[in-house]
Chains A and B, each alone.
Chain A
Amino acid sequence: DIQMTQSPSSLSASVGDRVTITCQASQDISKYLNWYQQKPGIAPKLLIYDASTLETGVPSRFSGSGSGTDFTFTISSLQPEDIATYYCQQYDKFPLMFGGGTKVEIK
């Protein structure tokens, strides 16, 4: 299985801050990566697919980049409603695998 390692596991930032999360794959996965947001107590939501394509309706402050083994997820200006845990997920090889998650809190 391809292992996905996210860092940090948690972070605390102020409203308006730029927030960056990284996701590293254990082998080359090209651009085959998705990002999800899970707010407390509810199901996850797809934010970004193909490493950098924003899902319809997702605010433009969210973005993704990277290819190969190293990927980045960015919130350009953190908002109170962005409090959530964020997960990366690879789909290059079966089985689909998620990263361990990054919990984002407001300072």
Chain B
Amino acid sequence: EVQLVQSGAEVKKPGESLKISCEASGYTFANYWIGWVRQMPGKGLEWMGNIYPADSDTRYSPSFQGQVTISADKSITTAYLQWTSLKASDTAMYYCVRQRNYIELDFWGQGTLVTVSS
């Protein structure tokens, strides 16, 4: 059974750094792109970018390029999303997703709620 299990909710202050995780199981982690999707409070879905764990090829949506870093450790089948300096506007739910054939987001993590507030 494919599962993506994300790390728990975070409350941070503006300017702090953060790294959230997504542990995959039930399939060959290296062979599927893993992406991240943002959902701001009460809003729609935004695809942020993805990574191919086999070779760490990483792509970012232009809207998120330079704002976050996506990485993966295939030895522990875990993907990460990190920020170096959080802003209040980063407050959102973040989902990791398995991207079948790159294009279909067929399995989703349960989401990690990130709250940034002074």
Contacts and interface: CB of A to CB of B under 8 A. Distances in A.
Interface in B26-58: 35, 44-47, 49
A95 B61 contact: yes
A39 B95 CA distance: 14
Q: Main SS of the interface on chain A?
A: loop
Given A43-B109, A95-B62, A87 B104 contact: no
The 5 closest A-B pairs by CB, nearest first: A91-B103, A95-B61, A43-B108, A96-B47, A98-B45
Q: A43, A44, A46, A97 — which one has the most chain B CB atoms within 10 A of its CB?
A: A43
A91 B103 CA distance: 6
A87 B45 contact: yes
Given A1-B62, A43-B95, A95-B61, A101 B108 contact: no
B45 A44 contact: yes
Interface in A77-101: 87, 89, 91, 94-101
Interface of B: 35, 44-47, 49, 59, 61-63, 95, 102-106, 108-111
Contacts of A97: 47
Nearest to A96: B47
A63 interface: no
6 contacts: A34-B105, A44-B95, A46-B104, A87-B45, A95-B47, A100-B44
Interface string A1-45: 100000000000000000000000000000010101010001111
B61 A46 contact: no
Given A95-B47, A97-B47, A49 B61 contact: no
